[in-house]
Each structure stands twice: as structure tokens, then as C-alpha cells.
A and B are shown apart, each in its own frame.
Chain A
Amino acid sequence: MQRRQFIIGSLGVALASTIPLRAVQAHVGAAAPESLLTPHAVRVLGSVLEGLLPGAPEGPGARDINATGYVLGILAHPRTPDSERHYLREGLLWLDELTPAASFETLTARQREEILRSFAASERGEAWLANLLGYVFEALFGDPAYGGNPGGVGWRWIEHQPGFPHPTPDKVYGKL
């Protein structure tokens, strides 16, 4: 129960963190769902995302593409099914359970990688990380209108030519 409280908080608190929240704001506007992630959980999420997509030297990393803000946007999106919200949060709990004493985000990069490896060794851990990677790719290669891929940084990295016309903010997913 304690761990659960550790992870699941209110959006109000999450918004108070330093995470860039364009994605959240783009989609939920003022109507925030009641419970999302605590600031602690947001930090754990951010560290996991950085482990999945580290930054330089090779191309943009989770921070450069606003991956945490993007995933918070998914959690807050009115059309995200509750089951998906629950699953995203549960995974953070499982991961936290694997983390000895300290909290995941306070570990060194090498320690985090070890934990991600042991997490991925279980079927449920691998499936959760694979699902999260799907969102990482959306933040990396999706249209910047969704709050990830700022200025097309992900597209430039892979020399990708996006198609025209680009979506306008009033006609993105959830508004069409």
C-alpha cells in the first residue's frame, strides 16, 4: 500500500514537478483525471525512459524528446483506457519492488541498467518495457503536435522525411 501511494498521486502534484508538460496540457486542458503519478513516480518514470533511450553521443535521448511529458500525456489523455493507465502505473511499482533500498532514480546508470535487465528477464517485465518503448517511439518519431519530437529532432536523426500535410493542433488524436 505504501509503495502504491509512492507511485500514484494526483496530476496536480505531477504538474508541480519540473517535467515539461506540453503533451499533458495539449490534450487534457483543464480537465485533469484525478489520480496520476506522484512526483517521485514521475522521477522513476523519467529514469526508466532515459535508460531505454539514452542521450548523446548517438542521437536524441528521452530528455531531448520530452518522453516523460509524453507518457504523462498518455496517462492523462481522456481516451486512454483505464486499464492502460493502471498497467503503466503497475509497472513502475514492480520496478520499484526490484530496486533494493534506494529508489530507482537515485541509482547509477550501470545499476539502473542491471535492474532493467533483471526486470526484462521476467515475461511481465519485458512486456511492460516493450509497451513503454512504443510510447518512446511515439515521442521520438510522432508529429511534434503531440508534444514529443520537438522541432522534428527524432526525424532528423534518422534522416526521415515526414509527410505533408502535418496535423494541426485542433485535429490531432482525441480532437478529430
Chain B
Amino acid sequence: MKDYDVCVIGSGAGGGPVAYTLAEAGYRVLVLEKGPWFTEKDFFKDEIVCCRRSVYTPELKDERHVLETPDGGGSWSAEPTSESGWDFWNGNCVGGSSNFMSGFFLRLKPDDFRLRSTYGAIAGANVVDWPIGYDELEPYYDKVEKLVGVSGKALPHPHADPRSSPDFPFPPTLEHPLADWLDRSCRDLDLHPLPTPRAILPAPALGRQGCAYSGYCGSYGCATGAKGSARAALLDKALASGRCELRPHSMVARLVGDARGQIAAVEYFDKDGRKQRVDARIYVVACQAVETARLLLRSTGPRHPKGLANRHGQVGRNLLFSAGGSGSGDLPYDHFTARQVDELKVFGPFLNRTLQDWYVIDDKALGGRVKGGSVEFLFQHPNPINRADRLKWGEDGLLWGEPLKRKLKAYFTGASHLRFEAFCDWLPTDDCRISLDPEVRDRWGLPVARVRAGYHPHDLKVGEYLAERSRAVLEHLGCVDVRSFVSGDPPSNLQAGGCRFGRDPKTSVLDPDCRAHGIDNLYVSDGSFMPTGGSVPYTFTIYANAFRVADQIVADLGGVRASRVKDRTG
């Protein structure tokens, strides 16, 4: 008999729904997580822990990536992240990066599932349709809204996504007074501002506390449990079922294949660096896109000499980040009345406004009808140390002394600082992919991932289009010093692709159920499956798809166990 029914590798947004669903269905689940296990009691608003040292992520000297970026001359320059400081880890602890997300939860839209047939091919991009449609994922978006907890308000707008439930199960989180200003500004410009759906409970529900509106959400762990991390929303419940076991500090080194090419066991290093082995009937990989491809590539064996599910060299290809850009603008207090300034200075509630008016762009300048994206408006992150660290640079170099102090004082006390983030498709290309580095190893002696992070020039055009229009919104609102930044630099926290799903094993790694082609007992349930990314942050879709995959695994194992059916019917 196998040790477990299901072994899930990685405890974040991709792993949580599988552990939850399988444990609920009566199966014995083991979750292996490389990082430590923090709970609500360990999360504080401590900028040094959150954002100045490696606490939730490994030290780069111990575990690094090698990043390849275009060198400007048609070639690539490679640099270990331990030297550049450009960190590709996002949250390596129980619950993964989902502990630290801001929780902007927007659905993909039907056209995102058929990008190729709707918008046609783009030279140099490997755009394909998904093997499933929006209809197949919609019930799972609905499930995430109810089970993980998504707050919002469904308003009609030109690109509204179809919904089976008329509205969100939880009302929007508390809103900052500036949301009203922004609404007026957008409407003046004939735009349709939407309350941003958030994976945040506005009030106690689902056995968790409501949001404390601390003002520090993204990048910080949640001390109340209101944020819908995989840990707070799903793993805690899976553990309470008594059928799920979670082992932190368990770095999976490789999946071991048997003589038939199926997975026979998992080898991992425990906290003391000892190698352990465990087996299960089904294995589910959810290490986040870069690490998932890395694990499959390094799991070689006689039947899988190039790594698992890599017979056709597809593992690691078509890696995606989120394209777009960002921008900022200031609202100087001396431009407003005392009452308005009081409103601007409110701290805690969310601004929470999204624009999707440009989700589809029909503009000759961009060559006709093309896929656009979403724009989020938010306050600058309140972290004072990191902000001061950026302000220390003046036009002529480093500032210090009185000039620096005057600049700090004016920045922090003279204005409110807004920003926007634009999300558009990061087109899949041959130049964005994962391989194993031939030389660099991590602290366990395992080859590290080499990330080639090339982008398609079309992404910048769309990003610039959105940025230009978002700048106009800020200007209309009264912002000064409005700027935007659009580049092909990969945002390392928004990763997907690398193991795309599809029907043809020659061009995809996973089948439409996210089972590895040719390996019946291996699934991938994080964002790696996505052949194209859509124009929203990925986590809502990762959660929804992982619930879909979990249902398939329950079916593989013979359906919900009889005892559980009895439990449920009482």
C-alpha cells in the first residue's frame, strides 16, 4: 500500500485547492513544502522582515536563479540573482506567495481562452487557443469566490465576464474616499471604473476574521486570516479534516520514475538535509512556474532521460510573466481644500479601482483589433524605508544631509501618491523559458533554474497604450508629476506557463486535465499550465484551475469516498 493517496509538492495557490479538495473527498494527502510554516501569529507589519531581508524567501547566496536578459546587441547576458539582487523567489513557506499577494482577483474573459482564433497569429509569438473554454472554468471561479472568499461588486461594463452567480458572495472591502474622486474622474472620461474584486474578507466569515485595514497588505503576511492565502483559506481546513499532513522544510529533489515510466516516489531533503522518500498513488506538482519546470527537468531517469514529460522538449518553454507597466502621480495637499486633504490623508481602506475599458483595443495605431488589458489604481506602497531608499537619489547623484531631509519631509507630508499598474498579455515566445543551469547549484547541490526572460515588442506597444490612457485619468483627477514606466523587465511575482496544457503531446506538456502527457499519475496544478496568460493577475485563475484539476484527481481515484458522502449528508 502506498504511504498516501496524493502527494502535493508546493503548498501555495496551486497546491492548496488540491490538498483541500482531496482531503474533503476522504483521501489521505501529504503536502511537501520547502519552506517554513508561519501562521497568523508570526505576521507583523515589520518592513525589515517583509521587504528588506530574506525571511519569507531563501537567502540568494544559498538558492539563486540565473537570469538571462537581452544584452541590447542581439545576444543574452546571464547573471546569478545573488549578484544582481533581482529576486525570483516570492514566498517560500506554507501557503507560498499567496500569503503575500495583494489579492486583486480578476477573472479571465472568454476571449482569453481563444486568443489565437480571436485575434490571429502574431509573428514571433507562440499564441495558441486553450484546450478548454471559459465555460469549463466558470464554475470554479464561482467556487473560489465562495470558498476562498472574494469580495466585490459585479457591475455591468463593456467587457464584463459572464457569471453564474449574479454578484460576489462578499461585499467590497472598505473604500478610501479617493475612490469616489477616481470614479468621477473616470466617468468624465467616459470610462467604467469597477470596484476591484479582492481575495479579502471584509468581515468575519468562513471561520476567518475580517480585514483589519492595516494599510499594509501586499508583500505582508496577514495577521487576521482575512486574506485568502492558500494557507488560511484552504490548508488550515484540509489539516482540520485529519486526512491531510503537511511537512514544512521539505525540499523535493526529484520525482522518481518506475520501469513503466510512471511516478513511483518522491525524494526530498528534510530540515536536517537528510534525504527522505515517500510514495503516493498520485503526485501533484505546484512549485510556481519556474520551480515546477525546474523540478520536472531535473527528475531524469531511464524512461525520462530529458526530464519528466519532456520527450518533445516542451518543459520550461513559453514561460509567461505579466506584461504592462506602471505609472504614478502626486496629489499635492496645497492644491486642495482642508476637507479634501483630510479625505486624502485617510489611511487603511483600499482604493480598489480597476479599469477594463481597454481589454480589447481597436485602434489603427496598433494595427486594428488587438488584445489590451486591465489597469489597477492604488496608493503607493506605504513602506517608508523602501520609499526613502528611492528618494535618496537626486538628479546629480546621491543626496544626504539637509537636502535629503527636506526631500523626505516634502514627499511624505506634502502629497498623496497614487500609482497604477497595467496588466496585459506577456506573449509566449521562444525567448522566454526555463532550463537547468549547467554549472550553478543550490545548497542541496541541485542545478538551479536558468530563466531566459525575453519579451515580445508587441507587449510594450500594448503596455504603452494602456499607460498613456491611465496617465490621462490621473491628470484629470488633479495629479501632478504624472509618469509611467513600460519595459520588458519580467515582474518576477507574476509567473505562469512553462508546462502548457494542450491536446498534442508534441507541443504541450500537460493534457487538458493538466495531467502530464504519458504519465498517468502526475499532475501540475499551479499556473504553469497556462498557454497564454490573459490580461489580469494570475492567482484567481490558478486557484480556479487547481480546483478543476482536483475534481479530476478525485474522479481518477474513484470519486468522493463513501464515508465522506455520509458525513456530508449527515
Identify the A interface with B (CB < 8 A). 51-54, 58-59, 79, 81, 113, 116, 120, 126, 129-130, 133-134, 137-138, 140-143, 145-146, 154-155, 157-168, 171-173, 176
Contact = CB atoms under 8 A, between A and B. Distances in A.
B344 to A, nearest CB: 12
A159 B413 contact: yes
Contacts of A166: 44-46
A137 B411 CA distance: 15
B45 A142 contact: no
A130 to B, nearest CB: 5
A129 B400 contact: yes
A79 B52 CA distance: 13
Contacts of A159: 412-413
B49 A167 contact: yes
B47 interface: yes
Nearest to A130: B398
Given A138-B385, A141-B47, A158 B408 contact: yes
A58 to B, nearest CB: 5
9 contacts: A58-B402, A113-B401, A129-B398, A133-B404, A138-B385, A167-B45, A173-B48, A173-B49, A173-B53
Contact of A126 (B385, B397, B408): B397
Nearest to A134: B389
Interface string B204-222: 0000000010111000100
Interface in B374-398: 382, 384-385, 388-389, 392-393, 397-398
| Interface-central residue, B46, B212, B220, B401, by most chain A CB under 10 Å | B46
B385 A157 contact: no
A151 to B, nearest CB: 16
B303 interface: no
Contact of A54 (B52, B212, B220, B405): B405
A158 B412 contact: yes
A163 B216 contact: yes
Contacts of B38: 176
A17 to B, nearest CB: 24
B418 interface: no
Which 4 residue pairs of A and B lie closest in terms of their CB atoms, listed nearest first?
A163-B45, A158-B412, A163-B216, A141-B384
Interface string B17-50: 0000000000000000000001000101111110
Contact of A137 (B45, B61, B389, B393): B389
B392 to A, nearest CB: 5
B568 interface: no
Nearest to B223: A165
A159 B347 CA distance: 11
Contact of A171 (B42, B53, B347): B42
Interface string B99-129: 0000000000000000000000000000000
A138 B52 contact: yes
Nearest to B406: A58
Contact of B398 (A54, A120, A138, A176): A120
Given A58-B409, A138-B48, A166-B44, A81 B223 contact: no
Given A53-B405, A133-B392, A158 B382 contact: no
A176 B42 contact: yes
Contacts of A52: 400-401, 404
B385 A141 contact: yes
Nearest to B408: A158
B160 interface: no
A176 B55 CA distance: 8
Contacts of B405: 53-54, 58-59
Contact-size category for B: 35 or more
Nearest to A154: B384
Contacts of A168: 44
B426 to A, nearest CB: 31
A113 B412 CA distance: 26
A167 B45 CA distance: 7
B398 A172 contact: no
Nearest to B45: A163
Contacts of A140: 385, 388
Contacts of B214: 163-164
A157 B388 CA distance: 13
Nearest to B345: A159
Nearest to B43: A165
Contacts of A171: 42, 44
B392 A172 contact: no
Given A138-B48, A166-B44, A168-B44, A161 B402 contact: no
Contacts of A134: 385, 389
A141 B412 CA distance: 12
Contacts of B406: 58
A137 B48 contact: no
B44 A165 contact: yes
| Interface-central residue, A130, A134, A168, A176, by most chain B CB under 10 Å | A176
B382 A163 contact: yes
Nearest to A157: B409
A160 B45 contact: no
Contact of B402 (A54, A126, A143, A145): A54
A88 to B, nearest CB: 16
B384 A155 contact: yes
Given A133-B392, A133-B398, A141-B385, A146 B48 contact: yes
A59 B47 CA distance: 21
A146 B49 CA distance: 11
A21 to B, nearest CB: 18
A129 to B, nearest CB: 6
| Interface-central residue, B47, B55, B389, B400, by most chain A CB under 10 Å | B400
Contact of A143 (B48, B215, B220, B223): B48
A139 to B, nearest CB: 9
B398 A137 contact: no
B417 to A, nearest CB: 13
Contact of B385 (A113, A116, A137, A167): A137
A173 B55 contact: yes
B409 A158 contact: yes
